[in-house]
Amino acid sequence: MSAVSSGPNDHFLKVHREKFRVWRGGRPFWAGLLTIFGGLPIAYLPYANIKLGNLTLAMATTAGAGSLIIGVLLVVLGLTMWFQSHSRIFAGVAAILLALVSLVVSNIGGFLVGFLFALLGGALGIAWAPAGDESGRAERRDRTSEGSDADDRDEPAVNGARDDLTGTGSMNQTNGRHRAG
């Protein structure tokens, strides 16, 4: 045995950390987290009582129910970004719209803290793309850059001639169609 021991749970922690890293990488994690953090102050602050010495400051407003609904919806949208990442664009747009509505309804969007978190979370949710999309884009780029010959295209032949309207193919015919200009 060596004098230096890594501890009995070192492997256990590494395994769970790696699993979390893989889970986090397959979804818009930060977008969901910021959206959840944006919903919490929006839902909580209208019902909060702040004590300053003997003075109790109640933030209760007539829009308390609206603030609660907006905050809970933002938390649900953040969880949706995590657990149903295919609907991230809808959740991102809805989070941005709810953040904008919270400015009017909920004490300036949870004193701008909730508004900014929800706005950034929604924007990150819209901007996030799965890792598999990059290979599809590269594959499409490879297909278009391989060549512009008419023989490589999957266009149907009409009476033995290709239907090429761009004028860039090997057969510069328009098949009776005219271009403007």
Per-residue pLDDT at 171: 55
What DSSP element (H or E) covers 159? none
pLDDT at residue 137 tops 60: no
User: Region 63-91: what's the mean pLDDT?
Assistant: 92
Per-residue pLDDT at 46: 81
Per-residue pLDDT at 45: 82
Phi, psi torsion values for 159, nearest 5 degrees? 55, 40
pLDDT tens track for 27-63: 999 999 999 999 999 988 888 777 888 888 776 666 7
Strands, E assignment, 33-80: 49-52, 55-58
Per-residue pLDDT at 86: 92
Per-residue pLDDT at 107: 78
Please return the burial class of 21, using the count of CB atoms within 10 Å of its CB with bins 0-12, 13-18 and 19+.
Answer: exposed
- 114 close to 42: Cβ distance less than 8 angstroms: yes
User: Region 140-167: what's the mean pLDDT?
Assistant: 54
Closest by Cα among 120, 140, 137 to 129: 137
pLDDT at residue 93 tops 70: yes
Per-residue pLDDT at 54: 87
pLDDT at residue 125 tops 90: yes
User: Region 5-33: what's the mean pLDDT?
Assistant: 85
CA gap 29, 81 in Å, rounded: 7
Between 158 and 83, where is the model more confident? 83
Q: Is the dihedral of CA 48, 51, 54, 59 positive or negative?
A: negative
pLDDT tens track for 108-119: 878 899 999 999
State the helix-helix crossing angle for 113-127 and 29-44, rounded to 10 degrees.
160
User: Which residues, listed in sequence order, are joined to residue 161 by a DSSP beta bridge?
Assistant: 158
What DSSP element (H or E) covers 45? none
